[in-house]
Amino acid sequence: MAARQDRTTDEELKAQLLLVRRGTANWTRKVNELTDDELDGPSLLPGWSRRHVIAHVGYNARALTRLVQWATTGVETPMYSSPDARNAEIAYGATLPARALRHLNDHAAVSLNVEWRDTPEEAWHHEVRTAQGRTVPATETVWMRNREVWLHAVDLDNGARFSDVPREVLTRLLREVVGSWAAKDTDPGLRIQVTDAPELGELGAGAHQDAGIPVRGDLPAVAQWATGRGGARLEAGADVQSPRWI
């Protein structure tokens, strides 16, 4: 019998599930604010319309559902069969009639939420593999979805802002981005200062170095810049190009 509430008793995980459900509600609201004609408009992602973003987020929910099912059943079910298959899926989704695209977005999100809700306590710690090849516990799927729904709501370019994103999401996102640069050795020596989050200290390969390339601003602005979204209102570093992170 399907559970009526989350089966996990882990309070931290339950808090993350609440956060992702808030993010999903925010994402869905921003999608529903768009008329069918407005779906054809450009997003903030180069080369992608709003349709592409919505298709991506919908198919991402299905892909994460496969990972959760993998953790629960032990049967390997990858997110995507290949990077090319993922790209083809998004391209196809962007061509769907507006009603079908909206149904994909809504139904996929509900299905993922049900899988999370019904996942037994022990299965949350089973390891699965992401599309990037990382081996992670199933709990990571909650963060992966948090990142998707909060960030791509901004990418729809119809009113959502980085300042709307919860600080804990922005903090983890920024640390993840900087960590990605370090892992790929693509940080040119950035010295990043987040003015309203002193607990983060200085970030980047040039942290605490006089020769470091300064980037300074509040948390929403720095996160916007670091993730490659233009128009961030930085106090310093607005002319510095952030490295690719994903």
* pLDDT mean values, one per 10 residues, the chain (246 residues): 78 97 98 98 96 98 98 96 94 98 98 97 96 95 98 97 97 97 96 95 95 97 95 93 91
Domain boundary among 118, 136, 160: 160
Of the residues 160, 180, 212, the one at which a domain ends:
160
Same domain, 111 and 194: no
Q: Are residues 87 and 105 in the same domain?
A: yes
Residue 238's region, left for phi above 0, alpha for psi from -120 to 50, else beta, is alpha
Residue 172: how many other CB atoms lie within 10 Å: 15
Structural domain includes residue 238: no
Q: Is residue 232 part of a domain?
A: no
Structure confidence at residue 230 (pLDDT) = 84
The pLDDT, as a whole number, for residue 181 is 97
Residue range(s) defining the domain that contains residue 218: 167-226
Same domain, 151 and 181: no
Distance, CA of 227 to chain centre: 11
- 116 and 175 in a single domain? The answer is no
Residue 234 within any structural domain of the chain: no
* Residue 74 within a domain: yes
For residue 1, what pLDDT is reported? 45
Residue 192: predicted pLDDT: 98
Greatest CA separation for the chain:
61
Q: Please check whether residue 13 is in contact with residue 125, taking contact to mean a CB–CB distance below 8 angstroms.
A: no
Name the nearest CA neighbour of 49 among 90, 1, 80, 4.
Answer: 90
Q: Are residues 45 and 85 in the same domain?
A: yes
| Strand residue runs (E) in 13-160 | 127-129, 135-137
Judge whether 3 lies within some domain.
no
110, 131: one domain: yes
List the CATH number of the domain containing 127.
1.20.120.450
Pair (113, 210) in one structural domain:
no
Could you give the number of structural domains in the chain?
2
Residue 38 and residue 51 in contact, taking contact as beta carbons nearer than 8 Å: no
Same-domain pairing of 127 and 85: yes
Go through the chain and tell me how many residues it has.
246
Burial 125-136 (b: 16+ CB within 10 A, else e): ebebebeeeeeb
How many CB atoms sit inside 10 A of residue 25's CB?
A: 12
Cβ 69 vs Cβ 77: under 8 Å: yes
